[in-house]
Structure 1
């Protein structure tokens, strides 16, 4: 039976139960919980240092009204990084390669920023749809264009995360297949291909972390426009 390279992105099913739910909930069980001791272990200390550094950097351009989103952004960042990194392990499934999951994260959070802007400062929020100094004949066209760009934002968030992870996984599988096929025929070329595969895996680890950061960073920029 011939298998497609895209079969790795199909949600695995066991006894009729989609295992994507298990893949989504697994990262939460891996996060170390703080203890009541005065001194934390190295894992908890490293996690606290990372969260505080990331949160302070992310909230620099935000007004104090947007700082209440700090816990949400930090949790989302850790969650996406954990899912993306776990998906690089053999015999695993990456839920963030599914556009439905990414849109399920992007649409509610983007909509929350828009609702906050409409509630707190409706004039400023609606003012983004029409740049200042626009000629009168271009006003209807610009309003339509800006409205479309506003509604495309959550789609761009989800598609960006899905496309980058999907492309990386496809490249890894293609190069791994080439190295496996070339091993009995041209061992030297196979070793060189395996070296490229190792470097690509390191790049994909960086992409997994960067894409999680970009996802949360863009959400913070959308929030900045509405607070």
Structure 2
């Protein structure tokens, strides 16, 4: 088996203290997604949006990669074939664990984007609506995050990797949000074996060839230890 494509979701970072959409009482439950995770919400109240993502950025920067992040970095370093790591997460825990060339399909909380000219740059810990773009000077800085209604990043690269994969692995994701929810079907159609690692199996029986149930920090290191030569 040479080519592995791995998709990670919020479940892999939850054990590092980063909340998911579904956490009861978490950061997301205190906001309307239409207000903080859409271009329209940003246009209405950029201060609210920046306050929300400043809190998420602080949470992410103060978090530490866990054993699952570290295991995937070991896999990338030690696997004789290609390992493409795609994440729905906007934190940088994969990179800080040692993974390289991570494909962030939903953007990165540590990056800023100019809504006027599309220039991107490293985000400061705290952003504000009046922050000028380093390239054009417009006070239109926003987090470099894919919001609802926007097209995820790197879709062509991801599709190419899925069609060439020998193994597709989904880790810590609900499998309910498209287009990522369709990756397993794309990989299966191309002939790849499929594996799910999650707290609970996905809600569609038979979607994966194999399921490993359990917390990512335990299940992922065990799986990596089993397959590394």
Q: Verify same fold: TM over 0.5.
A: no
Q: Sort the TM-score into its range (normalised by shorter chain).
A: under 0.3
- Looking at both structures, which has the greater relative contact order when contacts are Cα pairs under 8 Å and sequence separation is at least 6? 1
**More strand as a share of residues:** 2
TM-score, normalised by the number of residues in structure 1 = 0.26
**More helix as a share of residues:** 1
TM-score, normalised by the number of residues in structure 2 = 0.26
